[in-house]
Structures are given as C-alpha cells and as structure tokens.
C-alpha cells in the first residue's frame, strides 16, 4: 500500500471492502474521501469542489444539504425513531407514503406497496412475490424471469441474476440456475445488423423474445423485467416502438412486466416515471433512489390487485406470508420519502426537469462532433457519450473501458463527478441544477474530453 501512513485514505483502505471497484485500486490509490455537499456540489476531504454530475449514484435528485429533509428526519427520530411492520404493526408515515405512491404510479389497479431498503432487495421481493403468486394460482412451473443483456437490477442473489452485466456474474456463480434468462439489449447503435432500421431492429428483438418464451415454454415464464432507460448498462434508450412490441409478446403469453423505475422514477426522464416517457404499461413497478432523494435508504414495489388477490387468498390458508425486513417501512425513511414527494409536487421538480431537458440534451449532443465520440444518447435529464477509436466502424478501445476510465479521472481533475460506463461517460445531475450549472458541467466535461483526446492521440489509438 503506497498511501500516506495514517491518512484518511490509508485508514479507509485498511478497514473497508469497497463495492464496485477493484481492491487493487483502493490499495494503490485509496478512495476519494468526500466530506460535505451542498446543492449540486460536493467537497472532498482536501477541500476540492466538484459538481456532482451523477446525482450521487443516480439518486440525489434534490441535491445535497436539503434542510427540510434533514428536519423531517430529525422530527421523526424524536417522535418514533423505529417501528417494525411485522406481526400486524404499522405506523402513519408508511401508511401515508403508501397511499401517495398508489396514487402516483402508472400501474392499473395499483393495490399494495411493499417497502424495503434498496432497489436490490425490492427486485428480490418482486421475484419472490411473483413466485408466490403463481403458486397461489396453481402454476408451480411458471417461475422464470427474463432480464436483458446489459440490464441492471441490483446485486443480491436474485437481483444479480436479473442483471445482465458480466461483472455482476463473474466469480459469483450467477445467474442462479434455471429461473433467470436474458434476452437482447435494445441498443441500436451497437447491436443492429448492417443497414437495419430502428423499426426492423425492434421487430427482430420482439421476435427473439417470443422465440425465447416458446423455447422455454410459456407455462414456465412468469415475468419480464426492464428499466425504461438502462442506466448502469450505459444510459441506453431503446428506439421508438420497442416497448410496445415487447409488451404485445408478453401479453400474448401471460408474462408480467416489471418496470424497474429505480433510476428513471420521479422525474428523471421528464415525466414522473420512465414508463410514461417510454409508453410502458407495467404490471408492477420497483422504486428506490429518488424516492427519498437518497437522504434515507428506502425502496418500494407496487403490485396490482390482480396479484394481491391470489396472494391474500393463499395467505388465508397458509397463515403468515414469510417475507419482510427489519427495516421495511422504517418510519424515518418513510417520513423523508413523504416529504420528498411533497417537495417534488410543491416545487414542480418534474416540470423543471422537463423544461431543462432540451438544454441538457442539446449540450450532450454537441459532442457528436468530437473526434472521440461515436454516440451521444439520453432522454430527459440523463445521458451518456460513447467513445470510439473509429467513427466509421464504431470500433472501441482495447482494453475495453480504459479510455472511459481515463476520461473519468480527468473529469475529477476538472471538478466534475460523472459515471464511467465502459468506454463512455454518463451524466445524471440533481434535478435542482440550474441552466448555468448545466453549462458548467458540460464545460468541465469538454476539458476532460480534450485531455482524453490528447492522451489517445499520443498513444496512436485513433483511426487515421
């Protein structure tokens, strides 16, 4: 370990197994130790300021240091710091938040809300309830869940199996055998056949989905899960018509649609939910992240009456429904979630995101002329750039991800925190960002891109 002895970074490296990074990186360089945040800015332990261009981890929609959220958390801790929801107990904050979510979500006949702590555990709950539901209906074989290549749904055993990204599978013995399968990634830029239009591409993907269901057996396939926009997979926005064609296949074979709204929910795409932006009619939804603007760990799933009815009926025969978490519907988390939704409505945050989106997307797409950028993509207030060594052939870089990582590090030098996604950079700023701060964010990214171009040019990695 080459870190200064006794430094915060050295102590951190000695004590913590970090998520989503190579241990070797932490041992060699240490973590970037963050100290405080306010609005759209954060500061590290050395006092350096950064514009937080990823809203933390796609989640701090109201930015940092919101005193209203801090106050409501304090007040709830004083009045009722904890109450579990086991054995017939509940409390008002969870009840009020559930009522509000049932009114908001784009689920037909939305019936019940189940609370958890993270998007991962929420998607685990989705899987378990769908299995329970099919058992209740006397369909014990209808258990397989279809995810998508490059989809991200969490990292627990079931959610990690739903995910379609190799790093979440390698060495983890995932996906779990038998019940988790994957279909195509809807990224036209990367996966279309030569000369294939977007319409033909989406028709082919829907056909492939149908063939997959038929091969597996329709009586074995229970559900399909999708993010409206794939976030961790690279901010992949499917072509127009994709979800309508996929949903027609699902309806034909009685396969439930789980909309994973963990990133897209609560205004990120310019509408309250990504399902509304992408014309999805989900059977169930998964919520987390911006549900509390990440001020407290809270997730939720919303199920329709058609699922709740059989589950409840089975519960009458079986007794206790054996699922739940100590912190399900934690009163402090629920109170903060309820206040977050109040702020969204009062301050018209979703409308604000829709109004800012044209400027965000225009600045993003202005980089299409940059020698490194093969594709600029996004919707609403989320977007990404993909780097290529040859624009004509769309060839990437070797090793994969090396140039994205270099640009990511140069962004830090210039005071911007984005997300590196393979050989690319993603942005997803707090929804309270101003137009001037959007310009600041993209100006910093421009400096990092130019640094990266100089680096790639020196190494002779660009096509002549």
This prediction's pTM: 0.97
What pLDDT does residue 1 have? 61
| Tokens found for residue 321 | 């429904």
3-state secondary structure the chain: CCCCCCCHHHHHHHHCCCCCCCHHHHHHHCCCCEEEEEECEEEECCCCEEEECCHHHHCCCCCECCHHHHHHHHHHHHHCCCCCCCCCCCCHHHHHHHHHHHHHCCCCCEEEEEEECCHHHHHHHHHHHHHHHHHHCCCCCCCEEEEECCCCCCCCHHHHHHCCCHHHCCCCCCCCCCCEEEECCCCHHHHCCCCCCHHHHHHHHHHHHHHHHHHHCHHHEEEEEECCCECCCCCECCCCCHHHHHHHHHHHCCCEEEEECCCCCCCCCCCCCHHHHCCCCCCEEEECHHHCCCCCCCEEEEEEHHHHHHHHHHHHHHCCCCCCCCCCCCHHHHHHHHHHHHHHHHCCHHHHHHHHHHHHHHHHHHHHHCCCEEEEEEECCEEEEEECCECCCCECCCCCCHHHHHHHHHHHHCCEECEECCCEEEECCCCCCCHHHHHHHHHHHHHHHHHHHHHHHHCCCCCC
Q: 416, 422, 385, 374: which is closest to 401 by C-alpha?
A: 422
Any idea which architecture 69-346 has in CATH?
3-Layer(aba) Sandwich (3.40)
Per DSSP bridges, beta strands 373-379 and 41-44 are unpaired
What pLDDT does residue 318 have? 87
Find out whether the peptide bond into 329 is cis, omega within 30 degrees of 0: no
CATH 3.40.640.10 domain position(s) in the chain: 69-346
What pLDDT does residue 341 have? 98
CATH number listed for the domain at residues 32-65+348-458: 3.90.1150.10
Model confidence pLDDT, tens digit, residues 64-79: 999 999 999 999 999 9
Q: Which residues of the chain have pLDDT under 50?
A: none
CATH 3.90.1150.10 domain position(s) in the chain: 32-65+348-458
**Quick one: how far is CA 287 from the chain centroid?**
10
């Amino acid at each position: 370990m080459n870190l200064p002895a006794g430094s915060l970074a050295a102590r951190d490296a000695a004590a913590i197994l970090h998520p989503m990074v190579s241990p070797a990186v932490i041992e060699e360089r240490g973590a970037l130790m963050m100290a405080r945040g306010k609005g759209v800015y954060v500061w590290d332990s050395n006092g350096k300021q950064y514009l937080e261009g990823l809203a933390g981890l796609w989640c701090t929609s109201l930015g940092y240091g919101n005193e209203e959220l801090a106050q409501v958390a304090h007040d709830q801790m004083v009045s009722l710091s904890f109450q579990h929801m086991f054995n017939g107990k509940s409390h008002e904050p969870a009840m009020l938040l559930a009522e509000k979510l049932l009114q908001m979500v784009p689920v037909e006949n939305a019936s019940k809300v189940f609370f958890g702590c993270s998007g991962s555990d929420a998607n685990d709950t989705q899987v378990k309830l769908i299995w329970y539901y099919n058992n209740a209906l006397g369909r014990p074989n209808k258990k397989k869940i279809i995810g998508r290549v490059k989809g991200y749904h969490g990292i627990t055993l079931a959610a990690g199996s739903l995910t379609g990204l190799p790093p979440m599978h390698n060495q983890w013995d995932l996906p779990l055998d038998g019940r988790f399968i994957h279909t195509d990634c809807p990224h036209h830029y990367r996966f279309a056949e030569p000369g294939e239009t977007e319409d033909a591409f989406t028709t082919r993907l829907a056909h492939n989905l149908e063939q997959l269901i038929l091969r597996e057996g329709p009586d074995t396939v229970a559900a399909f899960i999708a993010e409206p926009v794939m976030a961790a997979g690279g901010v992949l926005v499917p072509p127009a018509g994709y979800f309508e064609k996929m949903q027609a296949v699902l309806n034909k074979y009685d396969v439930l649609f789980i909309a994973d709204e963990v990133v897209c929910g609560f205004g990120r795409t310019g509408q309250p939910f990504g399902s509304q932006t992408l014309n999805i009619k989900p059977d169930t939804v998964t919520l987390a992240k911006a549900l509390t603007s990440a001020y407290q760990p809270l997730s939720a799933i919303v199920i329709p009456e058609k699922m709740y009815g059989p589950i409840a009926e089975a519960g009458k025969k079986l007794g206790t429904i054996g699922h739940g978490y100590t912190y399900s519907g934690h009163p402090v988390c629920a109170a903060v979630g309820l206040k977050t939704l109040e702020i969204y409505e009062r301050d018209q945050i979703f409308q604000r995101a829709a109004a800012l989106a044209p400027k965000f997307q225009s600045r993003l797409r202005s980089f299409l002329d940059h020698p490194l950028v093969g594709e600029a993509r996004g919707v609403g207030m989320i977007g990404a750039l993909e780097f290529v060594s040859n624009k004509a052939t769309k060839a990437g870089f070797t090793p994969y991800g090396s140039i994205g990582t270099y640009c990511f590090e140069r962004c830090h030098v210039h005071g911007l925190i984005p997300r590196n996604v393979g050989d690319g950079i993603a942005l997803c700023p707090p929804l309270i960002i101003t137009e001037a701060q959007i310009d600041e964010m993209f100006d910093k990214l421009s400096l990092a891109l130019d640094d990266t171009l100089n680096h790639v040019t020196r190494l002779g990695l660009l096509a002549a």
